């Protein structure tokens, strides 16, 4: 049985090695990058984005992720900064909008939102055969996206303080008018009609600003799951990618068998997303089967059970279980950031630990 390809885009902060504050040197880092690099600019000059090639196996994806992170870190080092896999800056920052005309237009239209929303996400691209298949998958993965957010949580600090959230990025991100959970689309026509209505409102600039938790990719024949924080550990990104691919495969099989999507309302999905961002894996999540609170570990194990046949067919079930057990044992990036802060009472040390972890992983 053919396995779908999967690829990952990751956004990173560029930070000062001495103090840990973000530095607006994105353009210089891009110029320093290898000509074949997939490194691209982001909304703010304190960030860059990497992208892997489409991969079949998890070992291949892990090598790609480490390779793209290493390439970005090397380019950053040339400019005198370090790469930090943190979904928000622990230290207070005043972001600088990148010089591209599109980003400048965004700044004019969205004001303080653009000035403040410097966040780093992890976007997983899963191959689809058609728009019909992609929309069927979009409609059926909705209940399981919040657990993926909880698994990735890596942004507890905001503007120099503990936010009280495991993923404060997910809170900040909802300031965009087109961000977050979405309603059932029903068909490709329903999806495209929704997109046309959003663009016709002249609120967002273009279809690149359709910031749904998952969407059809504009540029690739993929479904793009955009709910996760960038992960401190590349193994966690591999886990989220594996679960995302297995989730898409699972729901497509059910669609072909005639199963209808869960009609859960978007309002409930927003509650599930809030719970996931609030406590990550250290509290309760909304169980996508019962829509009642349940321990986070139980919900993640239920997700693995839900997609187990697809994981088995791909030869990945044991690997996913091992990776999930590792996260549950050591904690998410948010847990690890807070542990450093508890020990040092120094947010600069939190950033330094993240950059050191990145060097070790590479």
pLDDT digits (tens, 9 = 90+) for 146-170: 999 999 999 999 999 999 999 999 9
Determine the average pLDDT of the residues in 238-243: 98
Cα 267 to chain centroid, rounded: 21
Place of tokens 């693995």: 304
DSSP for 107-164? HHHHTHHHHH----EEEEEEE-S-HHHHHHHHHHHGGGHHHHHHHH--B-EETTEE-S
The pLDDT of residue 34 is above 90: no
Contact assessment for residue 330 and residue 338, using Cβ atoms and an 8 Å cutoff: no
pLDDT band, residue 1 (cuts 50/70/90): low
DSSP for 300-326? HHHHHHHHHHHHHHHT-HHHHHHHHHH
Q: Give the domain ranges of the chain.
A: 6-361
CATH 3.30.590.20, applies to 6-361: yes
Q: Kindly tell me the sign of the dihedral angle through the C-alpha atoms of 11, 213, 148, 218.
A: negative
pLDDT band, residue 10 (cuts 50/70/90): very high
Please give the Cα distance from 144 to 166 (Å, whole number). Answer: 18
Quote the pLDDT of residue 95. 96
Give the three-state DSSP class for 167: strand
pLDDT band, residue 360 (cuts 50/70/90): confident
For the chain, helix (H) and strand (E) counts, in that order, are 14, 11
Quote the pLDDT of residue 35. 73
User: Rounded to the nearest 5 degrees, what angle is found at the Cα of 245, between the Cα atoms of 130 and 286?
Assistant: 110
Give the number of residues written for the chain. 362
Tokens of 280: 């990550």
Contact assessment for residue 249 and residue 224, using Cβ atoms and an 8 Å cutoff: no
The whole-chain average pLDDT of the chain stands at 97
């Amino acid at each position: 049985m053919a396995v779908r390809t999967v690829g990952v885009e990751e956004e990173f902060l560029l930070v000062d090695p001495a103090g840990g504050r973000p530095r607006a040197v994105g353009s210089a880092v891009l110029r320093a990058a290898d000509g074949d690099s997939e490194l691209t600019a982001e909304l703010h000059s304190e960030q860059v984005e990497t992208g892997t090639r489409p991969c079949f196996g998890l070992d291949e994806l892990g090598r790609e992720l480490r390779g793209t992170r290493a390439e970005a870190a090397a380019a950053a080092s040339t400019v005198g900064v370090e790469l930090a896999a943190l979904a928000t800056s622990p230290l207070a920052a005043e972001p600088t909008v990148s010089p591209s005309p599109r980003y400048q237009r965004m700044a004019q239209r969205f004001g303080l939102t653009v000035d403040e929303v410097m966040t780093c996400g992890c976007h997983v691209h899963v191959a689809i055969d058609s728009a019909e298949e992609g929309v069927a998958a979009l409609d059926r993965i909705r209940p399981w996206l919040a657990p993926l957010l909880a698994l990735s949580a890596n942004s507890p600090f905001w503007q120099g303080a503990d936010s009280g959230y495991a993923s404060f990025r997910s809170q900040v991100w909802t300031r965009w008018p087109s961000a977050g959970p979405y309603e059932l689309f029903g068909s490709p026509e329903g999806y495209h009609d929704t997109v046309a209505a959003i663009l016709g409102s002249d609120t967002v600039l273009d279809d690149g600003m359709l910031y749904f938790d998952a969407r059809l990719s504009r540029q690739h024949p993929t479904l793009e799951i955009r709910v996760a924080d960038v992960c401190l550990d590349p193994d966690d990104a591999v886990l989220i990618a594996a679960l995302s691919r297995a989730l898409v495969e699972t729901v497509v099989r059910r669609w072909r068998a005639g199963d209808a999507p869960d009609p859960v309302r978007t309002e409930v999905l927003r509650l599930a997303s809030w719970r996931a961002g609030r406590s990550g894996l250290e509290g309760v999540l909304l169980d996508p089967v019962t829509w009642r609170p349940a321990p986070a570990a139980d919900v993640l194990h239920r997700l693995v059970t839900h997609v187990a046949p697809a994981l088995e067919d791909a030869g990945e079930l044991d690997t996913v279980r091992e990776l999930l057990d590792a996260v549950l044992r050591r904690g998410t990036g948010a847990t690890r950031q807070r542990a450093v802060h508890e020990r040092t009472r120094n947010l600069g040390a939190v950033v330094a630990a993240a950059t050191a972890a990145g060097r070790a992983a590479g």
